[in-house]
Amino acid sequence: MKTAALSSRLFIVFTAVGTARALCLAGAAARGAPAKDRGEWKAPSRAARKPNPLPADAASVKAGKVVYIAECVDCHGRRGAGDGPGTKDLKSKVPPLTNADIWRQPDGALFWKISTGRGDMPGFEDMLGDEKRWQVLNYARATFAPRPTADAGADVAAQKQRPEAKR
């Protein structure tokens, strides 16, 4: 009788632990927390669609620079190369903000990444208000995103003039 009662209790404990673990993992997934720190870092579609409420005007970019210097330069560096003095203590390499692939993402996706963080990068949702996070994004995009070249603009204009380009 004692063996049956013990088996029953163990079954209940293991079931409860397994359920709790599953709920924790489900909660992390619902918050958009990455399961692993390796691989593609993709924002949830809802977050990626979030529009930037702040214009990237001079005031926003200037305010964003203050935030960048205070919170980001230690790892991302002054030039956004991922070579700040704080990188020597990190487990992973800091990606350069000058990488064009970063800036192909919508503002909402980048805002989500700044907010949630991943791996060595902390999430700034609890440290910075929404406005400061949008400002630092405006600064980083204005400062580190590649500029379109004059040749690329000419190519686009030429394609618009060609009748075969309009399909």
Instruction: Decide if pLDDT at 165 tops 90.
Output: no
CA 161 to each of CA 123, 151, 155, 157, 164: distance values in angstroms, whole numbers, following the listed order: 46, 15, 10, 6, 9
**Which range (59-63, 91-95, 122-126) has the least confidence?**
91-95
Report pLDDT for 148.
Answer: 80
Q: What is the pLDDT of residues 110-162, one digit of tens each?
A: 999 999 999 999 999 999 999 999 999 999 999 999 988 766 555 444 444 44
Q: What are phi and psi of 18, to 5 degrees?
A: -60, -40
Report pLDDT for 50.
Answer: 98
Q: Token match 């004692």: residue?
A: 2
State mean pLDDT over 2-8: 57
Boundaries of every domain in the chain? 1-29, 45-147
State mean pLDDT over 63-71: 98
Half-sphere exposure of 159 (CA within 13 A, CB side): 9
Q: What are phi and psi of 118, to 5 degrees?
A: -170, 140
Token reading at 136 = 């630092």
Residues in the chain: 167
Quote the CATH superfamily of domain 45-147. Answer: Cytochrome c-like domain (1.10.760.10)
Token reading at 66 = 């203050």
Mean pLDDT of the chain: 79
- Residue 32: DSSP 8-state: T
State mean pLDDT over 8-19: 44
Contact 64, 137 (CB under 8 A): yes
CA distance 102 to 121: 15
